[in-house]
């Protein structure tokens, strides 16, 4: 964040400038580095050079300055920099120093009037500007706050760093930035994300300590291991909260009042909005319900439910901001479980070619052992789509998975359909499209499958199902 009017600008030492130049010689495509170098030139009155750097920074400049790129470019300086890049490449050992230089300079840019020191070349300590107020959904208590970025998303990483530095901690605490892979339009959810940065405040009102966990030369094996273990627990808890929020959302959108406890939604057929229960999901639901009811108490009477749901999904502590949806890709024979732009599961399925319709549906019914058998043509689970003859169900023909052999329904392998049945509530949106999901499968190992303790009597012996298998 640029210094505000009347505040002194940070001073740049020759060592800082040397780090930046060395870093750019080996990383000429790093837009964040271009932006930071431009800030140096701007503060020293060299506006021509600053404009050139800002043009190279592209979207990073726009994200931080909230204005269009400068129109003026400096051709002579661009040629000089290109020649320097051809003449000299820094050694691989300088990568760590370059990254630390970027962090060091970024902290100064975003903290007007602050001071930063790097006492051992691996950690960065920053004294926070005490005048900052927390954002509307920030966690200001102690503990660990996890923040998710996609691999290769420089702009997203810069935004996360900015949020960390602007956050006001009233107690000691830490932020861990974790990275997951992305594929086309999707961020691929992982139970074992890679921690890339630890930002901690060891004591109340003390400086922030920044530790680049992903750097091979970082002397932080103990912190890296602890962050990895914590991130794995965080992803599991995040999934539980997502499923709890999705179930509550679907339930109240049917005009029902939110139940006091999770098991009230896990009844026998046909009141089986969810399939069962567990200690983890009951605990997650209790926390989610409290946030929802707080919103109901504050919202206007006419739009109370809508406002309470919106508040519940806006919690910055959660990576998921939308209810679970099911997306079916006819081209790749995939069924994805998604929340917003995050892909949690990507199963291989069997379809019916042109007999499988495109469009939007909702899960209107869930049944265990359709037609009284777990080994029949519909397998052990079935989910009707919008009260039609189309359904998502199991199959007794596993060789048909990945092919177009059904009469229109969506076939799944037994373990896949049983996990999906436990994850999604009645009312879940289902979108059947083409060429929208990646080809890579995202299916957990058997021990990591999502499972609930199944509520008894979720079959429907009074009905013969004639889905278009």
Most confident region among 82-96, 195-209, 294-308 by mean pLDDT: 294-308
Q: 199, 210 in Cβ contact below 8 A?
A: yes
User: Of 64, 88, 111, which residue constitutes the final position of a domain?
Assistant: 111
Most confident region among 44-58, 104-118, 392-406 by mean pLDDT: 392-406
pLDDT tens-digit series, residues 233-286 = 999 999 999 999 999 999 999 999 999 999 999 999 999 999 999 999 999 999
Q: How far apart are CA 79 and CA 319, in angstroms?
A: 43
Most confident region among 132-141, 178-187, 282-291 by mean pLDDT: 282-291
pLDDT at 195 over 80: yes
User: Of 198, 219, 240, which residue constitutes the final position of a domain?
Assistant: 219
Q: 324, 242 in Cβ contact below 8 A?
A: yes
Confidence of residue 128 (pLDDT cuts 50, 70, 90): very low
pLDDT at 131 over 60: no
Alpha-carbon torsion (8, 10, 13, 17), positive or negative: negative
Cα 297 to the center of its chain, rounded Å:
29
Confidence of residue 422 (pLDDT cuts 50, 70, 90): very high
What is the structure's pLDDT at 210? 84
Confidence of residue 13 (pLDDT cuts 50, 70, 90): low
Catalytic residues: 393, 409
Q: Which domain holds residue 342?
A: 225-469
Q: Name the residue with tokens 């930071």.
A: 36
What is the structure's pLDDT at 325? 99
More confidently predicted of 56 and 329: 329
Same-domain pairing of 104 and 48: yes
Radius of gyration of the chain (CA): 26
The total number of structural domains that make up the chain:
3
Q: How far apart are CA 69 and CA 56, in angstroms?
A: 9
Q: How far apart are CA 167 and CA 213, in angstroms?
A: 20
Torsion of CA 37, 43, 46, 48, to 10 degrees: 60
Q: How far apart are CA 239 and CA 157, in angstroms?
A: 22
Same-domain pairing of 32 and 144: no
Q: How far apart are CA 114 and CA 158, in angstroms?
A: 18
Q: 351, 365 in Cβ contact below 8 A?
A: no
Q: How far apart are CA 107 and CA 116, in angstroms?
A: 7
Mean pLDDT throughout 27-51? Answer: 79
CA distances from 435 to 186, 332, 335, 358 (A): 13, 7, 12, 12
Give the side-chain half-sphere CA count within 13 A for 61.
21
Q: Is the peptide bond before 270 cis (omega within 30 degrees of 0)?
A: yes
Same-domain pairing of 179 and 284: no
What is the structure's pLDDT at 316? 80
Q: 372, 461 in Cβ contact below 8 A?
A: yes
What is the structure's pLDDT at 45? 75
Confidence of residue 26 (pLDDT cuts 50, 70, 90): confident
Strand residues in 86-130 grouped as ranges (E): 116-117, 124-126
Q: How far apart are CA 364 and CA 385, in angstroms?
A: 6
Q: 350, 368 in Cβ contact below 8 A?
A: no
Same-domain pairing of 144 and 282: no
Which residues sit opposite 432 in a β-bridge?
Answer: 328, 359
Mean pLDDT throughout 8-25? Answer: 63
Q: 159, 167 in Cβ contact below 8 A?
A: no
What is the structure's pLDDT at 77? 43
Q: Name the residue with tokens 């919008």.
A: 386
Confidence of residue 117 (pLDDT cuts 50, 70, 90): very low
pLDDT at 136 over 90: no
Which residues sit opposite 179 in a β-bridge?
Answer: 149, 194
**Beta strands 208-211; 429-433: pairing state:** unpaired
Same-domain pairing of 340 and 385: yes
Nearest residue to 430 via CA among 387, 369, 381: 387
Q: Which of 22-36, 44-58, 123-137, 310-324 is the least confident region?
A: 123-137
Q: How far apart are CA 124 and CA 107, in angstroms?
A: 9
Q: Residue 261 corresponds to which tokens in the numbers above?
A: 């406890």
Q: 327, 341 in Cβ contact below 8 A?
A: no
Mean pLDDT throughout 1-20? Answer: 54
More confidently predicted of 385 and 73: 385
Q: How far apart are CA 112 and CA 10, in angstroms?
A: 7
Same-domain pairing of 148 and 256: no
Q: Residue 250 corresponds to which tokens in the numbers above?
A: 């679907």
User: Of 171, 192, 219, which residue constitutes the final position of a domain?
Assistant: 219
Same-domain pairing of 123 and 241: no
Q: How far apart are CA 200 and CA 175, in angstroms?
A: 6
What is the structure's pLDDT at 170? 56
Same-domain pairing of 156 and 83: no
More confidently predicted of 112 and 375: 375
pLDDT at 80 over 60: no
Same-domain pairing of 320 and 370: yes
* DSSP summary character for residue 77: H
Same-domain pairing of 128 and 96: no
What CATH number corresponds to the domain at position 393?
A: 2.40.440.10
pLDDT tens-digit series, residues 336-363 = 999 999 999 999 999 999 999 999 999 9
Q: How far apart are CA 241 and CA 23, in angstroms?
A: 41
Mean pLDDT throughout 170-196? Answer: 89
Mean pLDDT throughout 65-77? Answer: 59
What is the structure's pLDDT at 359? 97
What is the structure's pLDDT at 408? 97
Q: Which of 22-36, 217-231, 311-325 is the least confident region?
A: 22-36
Determine the number of helices (DSSP H) and then strands (DSSP E) in the chain: 11, 18
Same-domain pairing of 123 and 151: yes
Same-domain pairing of 70 and 164: no
More confidently predicted of 459 and 39: 459
pLDDT tens-digit series, residues 206-233 = 677 888 999 888 889 999 999 999 999 9
* DSSP summary character for residue 143: S
Q: How far apart are CA 26 and CA 21, in angstroms?
A: 9
What is the structure's pLDDT at 102? 53
Q: Which of 30-34, 123-127, 376-380 is the least confident region?
A: 123-127
Cα 123 to the center of its chain, rounded Å:
26
């Amino acid at each position: 964040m640029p210094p505000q009017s009347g505040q002194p600008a940070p001073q740049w030492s020759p060592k800082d400038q040397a780090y930046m130049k060395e870093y750019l010689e080996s990383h000429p495509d790093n837009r964040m580095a271009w932006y930071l170098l431009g800030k140096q030139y701007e503060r020293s009155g060299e506006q021509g050079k600053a404009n050139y750097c800002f043009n190279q920074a592209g979207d990073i400049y726009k994200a931080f300055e909230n204005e269009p790129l400068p129109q003026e470019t400096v051709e002579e300086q661009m040629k000089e920099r290109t020649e320097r890049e051809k003449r000299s490449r820094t050694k691989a050992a300088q990568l760590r120093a370059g990254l630390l230089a970027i962090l060091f300079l970024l902290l100064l840019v975003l903290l007007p009037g602050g001071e930063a020191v790097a006492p051992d070349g691996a950690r960065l300590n920053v004294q926070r500007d005490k005048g900052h107020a927390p954002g509307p959904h920030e966690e200001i208590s102690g503990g660990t706050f996890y923040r998710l970025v996609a691999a290769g998303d420089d702009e997203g990483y810069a935004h996360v760093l900015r949020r960390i530095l602007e956050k006001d901690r009233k107690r000691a605490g830490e932020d861990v930035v974790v990275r997951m892979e992305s594929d086309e339009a999707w961020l691929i959810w992982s139970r074992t994300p890679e921690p890339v940065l630890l930002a901690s405040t060891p004591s109340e009102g003390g400086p922030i300590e920044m530790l680049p966990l992903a750097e091979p030369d970082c002397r932080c094996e103990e912190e890296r291991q602890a962050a990895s273990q914590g991130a794995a627990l965080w992803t599991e808890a995040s999934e539980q909260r997502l499923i709890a929020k999705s179930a509550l959302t679907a339930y109240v959108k049917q005009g029902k009042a939110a139940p006091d406890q999770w098991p009230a939604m896990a009844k026998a057929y046909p009141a089986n909005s969810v399939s069962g229960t567990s200690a983890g999901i009951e605990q997650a639901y209790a926390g989610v319900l409290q946030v929802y009811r707080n919103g109901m108490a504050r919202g206007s009477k006419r739009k109370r439910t809508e406002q309470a749901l919106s508040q519940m999904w806006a919690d910055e502590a959660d990576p998921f901001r939308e209810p679970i949806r099911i997306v079916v890709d006819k081209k790749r024979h995939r069924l994805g479980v998604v929340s917003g732009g995050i892909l949690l599961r990507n199963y291989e399925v069997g379809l019916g070619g042109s007999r499988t319709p495109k469009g939007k549906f909702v899960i209107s019914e869930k049944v265990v052992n359709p037609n009284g058998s777990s080994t029949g043509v519909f397998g052990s689970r079935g989910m009707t789509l919008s009260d039609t003859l189309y359904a998502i169900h199991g199959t007794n023909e596993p060789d048909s998975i990945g092919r177009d052999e059904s009469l229109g329904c969506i076939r799944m392998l037994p373990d896949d359909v049983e996990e999906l049945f436990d994850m999604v509530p009645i009312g879940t949106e289902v979108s059947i499209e083409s060429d929208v999901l990646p080809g890579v499968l995202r299916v957990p190992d058997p021990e990591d499958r999502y499972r609930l303790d199944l509520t008894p009597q979720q079959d429907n012996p009074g009905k013969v199902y004639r889905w278009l298998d």
